[in-house]
């Protein structure tokens, strides 16, 4: 599932092609997504020019030269790809990336090329917002601060977790606490911070919370710099693979040796709240 770094990379790769461009037409190829695509509301974007593209948490917000905003969530397997012309796929984007056309949902056509939204598992969505109602959107209005912002700091994280008895990893994945973090990067940040994923939020010491803020920022920054992680179904919009997965220290490394210098522990996997936690029993406390 794409997390903050993968969504950021997707935003950057689509921005390169569509920023400042005018939409000529929109065609729904399969309306079934988390919320069904709605022709009437999507058609309002016809002949509109894209002014700005932002990311907030795991959402991409595409702003137009009027009130309209497209809110995109990639769900588990959503992605964009470009068609150069009507039928011909520019394969240079997809050298190692198989696209199953029957999972295409929306085709947005610009002058000379199209942008297709494809989603195998259909948990993603694309909906219309307006500039004035963004702040009331249920997707946006409860989001916490983002890693790599000055608001995301020790005081903020402490205030969010000091009285919570849930496992710290669940708290980190709660989008109203840390926006954009998911299972992979939460596991990795906890390893970097030497904190066990199932430790309760209210048991963390101040120094651990400080370390955790630093670790989250570092992991997220490094992952963005590496182009995200290539995980199961994720590739960026140019079909290029991110490379951060080669830096995973715990995620998907069950039974393998701990990579922390001087630690001879093994990575354990447990299931907690339906998600895998990966940690070293020896150096994460």
CA-to-CA distance for 56 and 200, rounded, in angstroms? 27
d(CA 174, CA 177): 5
CB of 193 to Zn ion, least distance (A): 12
Residue 2 appears among annotated catalytic residues: yes
Is the CB of 106 or the CB of 280 nearer to Zn ion? 280
21 or 282: whose CB is closer to Zn ion? 282
Q: Based on the shown chain and the rule CB under 5 A, indicate whether residue 259 belongs to the binding site for Zn ion.
A: no
Among 210, 263, 275, 276, binds Zn ion (CB under 5 A): 263
Q: How far apart are CA 135 and CA 154, in angstroms?
A: 26
Minimum Å gap between C-beta 170 and Zn ion is 22
CA 150 to chain centre: 20
Q: Which of 107, 214, 260, 275 binds Zn ion (CB under 5 A)?
A: 260
Alpha carbons 106 and 70: distance in angstroms, whole number: 13
Distance of CA 60 to the CA centre of its chain: 9
Options 12, 203, 275, 282, the catalytic residue: 275
Among 184, 212, 258, 277, binds Zn ion (CB under 5 A): 258
- Supply angle C-alpha 153, 154, 159, rounded to 5: 105
Candidate ranges 65-73, 102-110, 124-132, 263-271; the one touching Zn ion (CB under 5 A): 263-271
Query: Cα separation of 241 and 9, whole Å?
Result: 11
253-259-260 Cα angle (round to 5): 135
CA distance 182 to 175: 9
Q: Among 20-28, 115-123, 206-214, 255-263, which window interacts with Zn ion (CB under 5 A)?
A: 255-263
Instruction: Determine whether 155 is exposed, middle or buried from the number of CB atoms within 10 Å of its CB (0-12, 13-18, 19+).
Output: exposed
- Per annotation, catalytic residue among 5, 11, 55, 58: 58
58 an active-site residue? yes
CB 212, min distance to Zn ion, A: 17
Q: Could you give the CA distance from residue 175 to residue 172 in angstroms, rounded to a whole number? A: 8
**Distance in Å, CB of 247 to Zn ion, minimum:** 16
Binding to Zn ion, residues 265-284 (CB under 5 A): 265, 280, 282-283
Catalytic residue among 2, 5, 167, 197: 2
**Cβ contacts of 259 within 8 Å, gap of 6 or more:** 249
- Residue 280 CB, shortest distance to Zn ion, in Å, is 3
Pick the stretch among 19-27, 78-86, 180-188, 251-259 that binds Zn ion (CB under 5 A): 251-259
How many residues contact Zn ion, by CB under 5 A?
7
The answer to whether residue 3 is catalytic is yes
Bridge partners, residue 128, by sequence: 70
Rg of the chain's alpha carbons, rounded to an integer?
A: 20
Tell me the per-residue interface mask from 207 to 246 with Zn ion, x by CB under 5 A, - otherwise. ----------------------------------------
By annotation, the residues acting in catalysis are 2-3, 58, 275
Point out which residues bind Zn ion (CB under 5 A). Answer: 258, 260, 263, 265, 280, 282-283
């Amino acid at each position: 599932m794409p997390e903050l770094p993968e969504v950021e990379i997707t935003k950057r790769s689509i921005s390169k092609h569509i920023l400042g461009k005018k939409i000529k037409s929109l065609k729904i190829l399969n309306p079934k997504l988390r919320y069904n695509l709605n022709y009437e509301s999507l058609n309002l974007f016809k002949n509109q020019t894209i002014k700005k593209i932002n990311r907030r948490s795991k959402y991409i917000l595409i702003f137009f030269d009027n009130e309209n905003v497209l809110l995109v969530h990639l769900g588990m397997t959503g992605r964009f790809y470009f068609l150069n012309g009507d039928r011909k796929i520019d394969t240079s984007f997809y050298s190692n990336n198989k696209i199953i056309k029957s999972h295409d949902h929306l085709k947005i056509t610009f002058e000379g090329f199209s942008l297709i939204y494809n989603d195998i598992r259909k948990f993603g969505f694309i909906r219309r917002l307006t500039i004035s109602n963004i702040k009331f959107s249920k997707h946006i209005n409860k989001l916490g601060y983002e890693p790599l912002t000055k608001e995301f700091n020790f005081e903020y994280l402490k205030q969010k977790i000091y009285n919570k008895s849930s496992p710290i990893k669940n708290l980190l994945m709660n989008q109203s606490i840390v926006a954009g973090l998911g299972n992979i990067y939460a596991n990795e940040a906890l390893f970097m911070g030497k904190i066990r994923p199932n430790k309760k939020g209210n048991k963390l010491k101040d120094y651990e919370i400080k370390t955790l803020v630093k670790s989250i920022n570092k992991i997220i920054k490094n992952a963005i710099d590496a182009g995200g992680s290539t995980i199961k179904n994720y590739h960026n919009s140019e079909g290029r693979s991110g490379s951060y997965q080669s830096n995973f220290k715990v995620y998907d490394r069950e039974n393998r040796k701990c990579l922390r210098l001087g630690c001879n522990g093994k990575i354990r996997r447990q299931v907690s709240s339906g998600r895998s936690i990966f940690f070293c029993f020896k150096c994460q406390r």
